[in-house]
Amino acid sequence: MTWSKFDRMLKRTAALITVLLLSTAGTASAREPLVVGGTLASVSEAPWAVVLTNTAATRESKRWCGGVLVAANKVLTAAHCAGERVASYGVIQGRADLTDHSLGRFSAVSKVWVHPAYSTATNRNDFAVLTLKKPMTGVPVLRLETNPKADRRGAVPTVYGWGDTADTGPDDTLQKLAVPDLGDATCLGIKGYAENGYTAAANICAGYMDGTGDACQGDSGGPLVLNGRLLGIVSWGRGCAEPQYPGVYAEIAPVAKTLVEQVR
Ligand code: ARG
């Protein structure tokens, strides 16, 4: 079974997640708080970050995945998050703490588009675009990165999400983490990552080889941001914040044209 299939299985049987995370909780160093090892983020610094909810989620918040507002009525997320019935989805914007129902906005989803080349075998093209019933008018949207050279070793993008923290932060609360771009060679050199579909042309390898922090379950589909542009989408990884296993992101630039067609 590939890790991504494993991830999808986890989504359906969410109860196991905590058990898996216990082993990583002790490895997140104090240097930087997730996401695993992240710090609190505010809605004002990431207004385009949204939560994708699903009625099948076991958590009370119904948190399912992350997403990013790319037009008033369009949310980009991961294809592996978008396999349920359209009517089962919702999108929340403006609510850093998901228990605070007095804040933010909610919209139902009227349409789900999954990238036609999405492959569950290789995890390639892990992109989906949701159309909102109620546009989030007035909320700043995030521009797509179109330059494939923006993914370069040494850049330091930031990942945002409400996903699991392995007790490094509060649950269901927007966290952020700077994750150094480690370069494609790093992930291609990791046992299992190439077999699991990692490809230089369509993925970004980012995070910490020492397990300092990482995106985690529930962050999938959320934004990886560099210089005010959407560089990538949280896609997969082995566990979360495990030493030697950084995060894998779906790279926007190579598919920006295809995505833009879905966004207007
Ligand atoms: N696939 C997971 C999800 O559905 C998140 C993957 C990111 N994992 C990682 N270790 N960076 O939320």
Using one digit for the tens of pLDDT, what is the confidence trace for 132-178?
999 999 999 999 999 999 999 999 999 999 999 988 888 899 999 99
Per-residue pLDDT, 141? 97
241, 126, 250, 168 alpha-carbon torsion, rounded to 10°: -20
- Tell me the per-residue pLDDT of 119-137, one tens digit each, with 9 for 90 and over: 999 999 999 999 999 999 9
Helix (H, G, I), strand (E, B) or coil at 107: strand
Interval 33-49: pLDDT, tens: 348 999 998 999 999 99
pLDDT in tens, 99-124: 999 999 999 999 999 999 999 999 99
**Torsion sign, CA atoms 208, 169, 5, 61:** negative
Please report the pLDDT score of residue 90 as a whole number. 98
Contact call for residues 53 and 94 (beta carbons, < 8 A) = no
Ligand 1 centroid, distance to 215 Cα (angstroms): 6
Q: Averaged over 188-199, what is the pLDDT? A: 96
Residues catalogued as catalytic: 80, 126, 220
Q: What is the pLDDT of residue 67?
A: 98
* pLDDT higher than 60, residue 83: yes
Q: Tell me the CA–centroid distance for residue 262 and ligand 1, in Å.
A: 24
Structural domains of the chain in order of their starting residue, each with its CATH number: 10-20+33-40+144-254 (2.40.10.10), 49-141+257-263 (2.40.10.10)
Atom of ligand 1 nearest to the CA of 163: 12
CA of 64 to the centre of ligand 1 (A): 11
Alpha-carbon distance 255 to 92, whole Å?
A: 25
- Give pLDDT, residue 17: 35
pLDDT band for position 264 (cuts 50, 70, 90): confident
Asked whether residue 21 carries a pLDDT value surpassing 80, the answer given is: no
Any residues with Cβ below 6 Å from ligand 1, and which? 7, 65, 163, 214-220, 234, 236-237, 240, 247
User: What is the maximal distance between C-alpha atoms in the chain?
Assistant: 47
Cis peptide before 35 (omega within 30 of 0): yes
